[in-house]
Amino acid sequence: MDDVRVGLITGNTLHEASDVLAHAFRQDPLWIYFIPEEEDRLRLSRISFRMLIRYTMRCGCAHCVEPMKGVALWLPSDKSGMSLLDEIRCGGLSVLINFGSASLRRMTSADSFMFKLRKEHLPRRHWYLSLLGVAPGEQGRGYASLLMRHMIEKLEEERLPAYLDTQNARNVSIYESFGFRVIDQRVIPATSVTHWSMIRE
């Protein structure tokens, strides 16, 4: 771990970071629901992740392990939802062009549900972990911990809580080890995907 550090994603590393997330979430239950066709999932998720990374670079903290092995995207609570103008500025037209209407409907519906829950569970100021992913070949080497600890220092300095949601049961105990606790577990409406809401006070 001596030769790696946490840095900020830049325009030069944007595509590499989106590729890490695309591979990390390739078998994630929510992304399987969004894009059922496995042969399309990597290509389309890269496009979506590029938009999310660009937005986080503008409005939050887009962290990566350098050299590129893992990515964490954090947003302040007042910027945790993207407006239509935000989406367009950050590459949303590419999403509209490449995604089919069915996938877009699934994504919009699930995102609205998760945003509503987040507002209900933690209405006060906080940081939101929108995405954390480590390249599959690099998992289990402590890179997720490195990314989490980096932001936890900021949370504790600012004395702010944090919120995250996950649709992968394996992640729950990992986040619990960083002080998060489950405050809600339910199935996303009209899906078979289980959703966990977690808070770190």
Angle between helices 14-24 and 38-59 (to 10 degrees): 130
Question: Widest CA span of the chain, in angstroms?
Answer: 46
Report the CATH number at residue 17.
3.40.630.30
d(CA 46, CA 35): 12
Domains contained in the chain, number: 1
Range of the domain at 102: 5-200
Q: Is the pLDDT of residue 99 over 80?
A: yes
Provide the CB-side half-sphere exposure for 122 (13 A, CA): 26
Q: Is the pLDDT of residue 3 over 90?
A: no
The confidence band for 1, taking pLDDT boundaries of 50, 70 and 90, is: low
Q: Tell which residue, 162, 171, 160, has the closest CA to residue 196.
A: 171
Q: What is the mean pLDDT of residues 131-147?
A: 95
Q: What is the pLDDT of residue 2?
A: 58
- Give the pTM: 0.95
pLDDT tens-digit readout, 22-66: 999 999 999 999 999 999 999 999 999 999 999 999 999 999 999
